Amino acid sequence: MALTRIEMVSEICDTVGKKTTATTAAGTLLGDRVVTYLNFAQRKIARHYSFYELQAEKTDAATVIDAKTYPLESGTNTLGLSRVASVNSIILDDSENSRKLDFWHYRKFDKFYPRPENYSSGRPQIYTRWGNNLILFKIPDAVYTLKIRYGQYANDLVADSQVTDFGEDKDQLILTAGILETYLALKEYTDARAWYELFIGQLEDAVRAEGDEDWEPEAQPFGNPSYSSGSPWNDPYGGSGDALYNYPE
């Protein structure tokens, strides 16, 4: 059974050797501060990897004719997503020619299409992210349905009886991250270093457990790298383009 917020707070305070009722010079209860550190911990984990428990899908987002920019959560032409940590995949979904849009880093996008408005509108093929907005190219010439798969941040823990959105399988990971954040706040850096190493190990274990690798092997030609040179002593690989290649000593 998943741990509740109050159980996590008690566990963290026990680990760092302080009472939940301990106070700062300003009078803030440590138990209240630890809640903040737990929420920091949840965001730290979600930023690192899109775990299954926080994967979401928006199936009815839509483009707007001649609109290039789309806010993720709110604003003009919003896509209507919630607590966005990462955008993982976008499909332009219709009965004629559905396609997965290609993600381009904004530097590449700006290099090839510095002014998308100079091109005729059409069916989008590419998207890039700038801040909390997505930019589409081509600029849509019609209303198209977008199916968006994305990773979310967990809801903040706001009630003592609340459990984390990650589910009980991630309780240990969240506790470890919460202890790390608490030690950092208390400036106990020696303990923080030890818990950081423990956190990284558990985080890597959690990622490996899902086994979600997005890659395909590609065959590469055999052979040594080489270059043509009139000075073979400058070419450690002795390329056949060298004037003295294969010349007897």
Residue 183 pLDDT > 60: yes
Q: Are residues 44 and 59 in the same domain?
A: no
Q: Tell me if 33 is assigned to some domain.
A: yes
Q: Are residues 64 and 111 in the same domain?
A: yes
Q: Are residues 172 and 102 in the same domain?
A: no
Q: Are residues 46 and 58 in the same domain?
A: no
Q: Tell me if 128 is assigned to some domain.
A: yes
Structure tokens at 140: 């849509």
Q: Are residues 95 and 146 in the same domain?
A: yes
27 pLDDT band, cuts 50/70/90, is: confident
- Residues of the chain with pLDDT > 70: what percent? 84
Q: CB-based contacts of 70: which residues, under 8 Å, 6+ apart?
A: 61, 63, 64, 77, 78, 79, 133, 134, 135, 136
Residue 147 pLDDT > 70: yes
Q: Tell me if 234 is assigned to some domain.
A: no
Q: Are residues 42 and 113 in the same domain?
A: no
234 pLDDT band, cuts 50/70/90, is: low
Look up the pTM and report it: 0.78
Residue 195 pLDDT > 60: yes
Q: Are residues 135 and 200 in the same domain?
A: no
Q: Tell me if 42 is assigned to some domain.
A: yes
pLDDT score at 95: 76
Residue 84 pLDDT > 90: yes
Q: Tell me if 224 is assigned to some domain.
A: no
Q: Are residues 120 and 143 in the same domain?
A: yes
Q: Are residues 146 and 60 in the same domain?
A: yes
Mean pLDDT of the chain: 88
Report the range of poorest mean pLDDT among 91-100, 119-128, 159-168.
Answer: 91-100
| DSSP letter for each residue of the chain | -PPBHHHHHHHHHHHHT--TT-B-TT--BHHHHHHHHHHHHHHHHHHH---GGGEEEEEEEE--TT--EEESSSSTT-----SEEEEEEEEEE-TTT-EEPEE--HHHHHHH-S-GGGS--BS--EEEEETTEEEEESPBSS--EEEEEEEEPPPP--STT-B-TT-GGGHHHHHHHHHHHHHHHTT-HHHHHHHHHHHHHHHHHHHHHHT-----------S------S-GGG-TT--TTSTTTT---
Q: Are residues 45 and 65 in the same domain?
A: no
Q: Are residues 90 and 115 in the same domain?
A: yes
Q: Which amino acid, one-letter code, is at 14?
A: D
Q: Tell me if 232 is assigned to some domain.
A: no
- Residue at a domain's end among 152, 174, 198: 152
Name the region of 28 (left: φ>0; alpha: ψ -120 to 50; beta: rest): beta
pLDDT score at 228: 47
pLDDT tens for 199-218 read 999 999 999 998 766 655 66
Domains of the chain: total: 2
Q: Tell me if 229 is assigned to some domain.
A: no
26 pLDDT band, cuts 50/70/90, is: confident
Q: Tell me if 226 is assigned to some domain.
A: no
100: number of Cβ within 10 Å: 12
- Give the separation between CA 176 and CA 205, rounded to whole angstroms: 13
Q: Are residues 143 and 170 in the same domain?
A: no
Q: Which domain holds residue 35?
A: 5-51+166-208
> 119-128: which pairs have CB atoms within 8 A and are 24 or more residues apart?
121/65, 121/66, 123/92, 123/97, 123/99, 124/63, 124/92, 125/99, 125/101, 126/101, 126/102, 127/90, 127/101, 127/102, 127/103, 128/103, 128/104
pLDDT score at 229: 47
